[in-house]
């Protein structure tokens, strides 16, 4: 069995994962932050490194899920792979939709988005 917890940063996913794993004797799996080569850069320049960071997490969760299925164990994960392609990560979804539309975010849209809570927009190239 594979169970994954979804939620915002600081909502208690790791705590819930730990408690459920202990209670049901499941194997817990957590977001790979120690080995992430983009995490420090992300906090230094979020606009530059957010896409790389999100792709790293997506790949990491994909590898974990692939491993879970081959092990046939009961596992619980503190994030879902589905969150990587949803509005939980507006930078990732915008870059992906811009790429599909063969357009890119403009420098001015990145600058204004950085200081607001509105979605990032694309323009044609």
Give the residue numbers marked as catalytic.
Answer: 78
Pairwise CA distance, residues 11 & 1, whole Å: 23
Give the neighbor-by-neighbor strand order of the sheet with 27-29: 2-4, 75-77, 27-29
Residue 15, Cα to own-chain centre: how many angstroms? 18
* Cβ atoms of 51 and 104 closer than 8 Å: no
Alpha helices in 1-125 (DSSP H): 13-24, 39-44, 46-71, 90-100, 107-114
Pairwise CA distance, residues 93 & 110, whole Å: 14
């Amino acid at each position: 069995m594979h169970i994954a917890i979804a939620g915002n940063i600081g909502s208690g996913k790791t705590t819930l994962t730990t408690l459920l794993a202990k209670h049901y004797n499941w194997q817990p799996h957590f977001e790979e932050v120690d080995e992430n080569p983009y995490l420090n850069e992300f906090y230094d320049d979020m606009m530059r490194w957010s896409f790389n960071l999100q792709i790293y997490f997506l790949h990491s969760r994909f590898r974990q899920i692939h491993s879970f299925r081959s092990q046939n164990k009961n596992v619980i994960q503190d994030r879902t792979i589905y969150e990587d392609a949803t509005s939980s990560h507006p930078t990732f979804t915008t870059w992906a939709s811009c790429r599909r539309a063969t357009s890119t975010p403009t420098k001015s849209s990145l600058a204004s988005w950085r200081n607001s809570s509105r979605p990032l927009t694309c323009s044609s190239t």
